[in-house]
């Protein structure tokens, strides 16, 4: 066997360019697969990591227009529901009494819209969100100083702002607690007093231009309600399940519970979602892409394999005489067959090895471009090695068998 492998390498090196060209199909095929799988895995891995840090198991319950059911509307469709459409405190109380042992906290929030803040020469854009005390558990902001919104704040005009905002509006000021700022929201000028500052964190997943981010100012949810002049009710709330809880089941039950209030509502219903479930959708999507890539790679490997077969046939024709001599010297058919299959497997494995190198480089480059650490997939590499060996055997068998069956007399006479 060792002799066959050595022999295969010798004939490979005897025709370097030809061998390289033959391997190209396999190099490209395997390189593409490993490269793309590496990028895909890096992407999934990084997203999973960042989502876990953001509280992937939080369940978001929100109003959703009945007509639109796509994900986009769920995520961005900030339509204006009427008072009758909102989630009422009664519903929340009933929900609490029914699922009380399964939930940890319920965070309430209400979007007030965004506006520009101007203090002297400085300005900054903020979005104002009314939240309850429990919201702190969900958003989990890193408080730099001061405090977060509490339920006892009721309707007081207090705000918790980001350090970025502070830097924009009060540059160089160490402590801004007690400072006030005016903001124009919905044609009304509102004045808030700062009670706390949290550390702004750019959202890892969607990294857009962060040079001038719009940060959130949190105000008491009751204040927001009063300012908006709305009846008691919320557009969305976030449920944190008790630890050790099956969140998928809880999510479904929560959705069913709230949706039951909306059976007769023509325009709105309730949708519950969690990053976890979105993540699995995303992972499924990436898996589909991976599958598509694998299919393309399979075609490329097939073409590569045919190339190998072709070159093996050429090589056998060229070496007909050698085969004749080997047979005259006592080589049984099986020895000739093994020799040529080994040669084709060596070509394919060498191609596979180069392909893996190309793929890792490609994956590292691709992941680097997206700004994620590259995670070369060991499984993909193992499959690539196995696959290239299989190609070698499969596409090498026919030519090798042809060589093995050559008539020694004919082969010896071949010019």
Partner 1 sequence: MSTPMIEMHGIVKTYFEGKPNALEILHGIDLVVQPGEFVSIVGESGSGKSTLMNLIGALDRPSKGSYRLDGVDVSHASDRQLSEIRNRKIGFVFQNFNLIGRSNAQKNVELPLLYAGVPARERSRRAKELLELVGMGQRSRHKPAELSGGQKQRVAIARALACEAPLLLADEPTGALDTATSRTVMDLFHRLHKEQGKTIVLITHSPQLAAETERVITLMDGCIVGEEKGGAYHDG
The 8-class DSSP code of residue 231 comes to: P
Backbone angles phi, psi at 122, to 5 degrees: -95, 145
Question: 189, 206, 208, 329: which one contacts partner 1 (CB under 8 A)?
Answer: 329
- Site for partner 1 contains 337 (CB under 8 A): no
- Site for partner 1 contains 316 (CB under 8 A): no
- Site for partner 1 contains 298 (CB under 8 A): no
User: Residue 334's CB: how many other CB atoms inside 10 A?
Assistant: 9
Helix (H) or strand (E) holding 107: strand 103-119
List the interface residues with partner 1, window 368-397 (CB under 8 A).
none
- Site for partner 1 contains 326 (CB under 8 A): yes
The 8-class DSSP code of residue 191 comes to: E
209, exposed or middle or buried, with CB in 10 Å at 0-12, 13-18, 19+? exposed
Tokens of 215: 């940060």
To partner 1, the closest distance from the beta carbon of 414 in angstroms equals: 11
Nearest by Cα to 222 from 131, 111, 112: 131
Quick check: 77 and 68 in contact, CB under 8 A?
Answer: yes
Rounded CA-CA distance 259/241 in Å is 19
- Site for partner 1 contains 318 (CB under 8 A): no
To partner 1, the closest distance from the beta carbon of 315 in angstroms equals: 12
- Site for partner 1 contains 315 (CB under 8 A): no
Output b/e per residue, 89-119; b: 16+ Cβ within 10 A: eebbeebeeebeebbebbbbbbebeebebee
Cα-based distances in Å from 199 to 68, 114, 126, 186, 325? 36, 19, 15, 27, 81
Question: 177, 214, 335, 382: which one contacts partner 1 (CB under 8 A)?
Answer: 335
Question: 328, 368, 370, 382: which one contacts partner 1 (CB under 8 A)?
Answer: 328
Rounded CA-CA distance 405/275 in Å is 63
Rounded CA-CA distance 350/368 in Å is 27
Quick check: 74 and 62 in contact, CB under 8 A?
Answer: yes
Question: 331, 346, 381, 403: which one contacts partner 1 (CB under 8 A)?
Answer: 331
- Site for partner 1 contains 330 (CB under 8 A): yes
| Binding segment (CB under 8 A) for partner 1, from list 2-10, 161-169, 248-256, 380-388 | 2-10
| Binding segment (CB under 8 A) for partner 1, from list 21-29, 87-95, 170-178, 326-334 | 326-334
- Site for partner 1 contains 332 (CB under 8 A): yes
- Site for partner 1 contains 409 (CB under 8 A): yes
Tokens of 280: 């699995």
Mention every residue, 6+ apart, whose C-beta is less than 8 A from residue 266. Answer: 66
Tokens of 309: 């077969």
Q: Which is nearer to partner 1, 225 or 327 (CB)?
A: 327
- Site for partner 1 contains 314 (CB under 8 A): no
Q: Which is nearer to partner 1, 282 or 412 (CB)?
A: 412
- Site for partner 1 contains 50 (CB under 8 A): no
To partner 1, the closest distance from the beta carbon of 344 in angstroms equals: 17
Question: 1, 3, 72, 229: which one contacts partner 1 (CB under 8 A)?
Answer: 3
List the interface residues with partner 1, window 9-48 (CB under 8 A).
10-11, 14
**Which residues contact partner 1 (rule: CB under 8 A)?**
2-3, 10-11, 14, 321-322, 324-333, 335, 408-409, 412
């Amino acid at each position: 066997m060792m002799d066959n492998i050595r022999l295969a390498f010798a004939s490979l090196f005897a025709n370097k360019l030809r061998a390289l060209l033959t391997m190209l199909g396999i190099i490209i095929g395997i390189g593409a697969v490993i490269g793309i799988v590496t990028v895909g895995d890096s992407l999934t891995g990084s997203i999973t990591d960042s989502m876990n840090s953001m509280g992937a198991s939080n369940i978001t319950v929100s109003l959703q227009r009945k007509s639109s059911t796509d994900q986009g509307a769920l995520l961005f469709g900030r339509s204006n529901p009427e008072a009758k459409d909102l989630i009422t405190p009664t519903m929340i109380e009933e929900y609490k009494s029914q699922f009380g042992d399964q939930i940890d906290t319920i965070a309430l929030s209400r979007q007030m819209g965004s506006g520009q803040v101007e203090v002297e020469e400085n300005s900054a854009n903020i979005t104002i969100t009314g939240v309850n005390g429990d919201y702190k558990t969900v958003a989990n902001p890193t408080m730099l100083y001061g405090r977060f919104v509490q339920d006892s704040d009721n309707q007081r005009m207090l705000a918790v702002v980001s350090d970025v905002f502070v830097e924009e509006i009060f540059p160089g000021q160490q402590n801004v607690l007690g400072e006030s700022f005016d903001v124009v929201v919905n044609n009304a000028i509102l004045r808030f007093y700062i009670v706390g500052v949290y550390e702004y964190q750019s959202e890892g997943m969607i990294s857009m231009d962060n040079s001038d981010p719009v940060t959130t100012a949190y105000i008491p949810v009751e204040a927001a309600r009063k300012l908006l002049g709305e009846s008691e009710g919320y557009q969305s709330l976030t449920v944190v399940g008790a630890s050790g809880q099956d969140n998928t089941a809880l999510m479904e039950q929560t959705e069913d519970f709230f949706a039951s209030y909306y059976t007769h509502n023509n325009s709105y219903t309730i949708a519950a979602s969690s990053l976890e479930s979105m993540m699995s959708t995303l992972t499924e999507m990436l898996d589909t892409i991976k599958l598509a890539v694998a299919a393309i790679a399979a075609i490329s490997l097939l073409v590569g394999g045919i190339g190998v077969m072709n070159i093996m046939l050429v090589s056998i024709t060229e070496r007909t005489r050698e085969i004749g001599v080997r047979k005259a010297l006592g080589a049984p058919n099986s020895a000739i067959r093994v020799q040529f299959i080994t040669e084709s497997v060596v070509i394919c494995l060498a191609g596979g090895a180069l392909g893996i190198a190309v793929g890792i480089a490609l994956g590292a480059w691709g992941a680097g471009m997206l700004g994620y650490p590259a995670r070369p997939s060991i499984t993909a590499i193992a499959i690539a090695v196995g696959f290239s060996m299989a190609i070698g055997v499969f596409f090498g068998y026919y030519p090798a068998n042809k060589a093995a069956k050559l008539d020694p007399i004919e082969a010896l006479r071949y010019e």
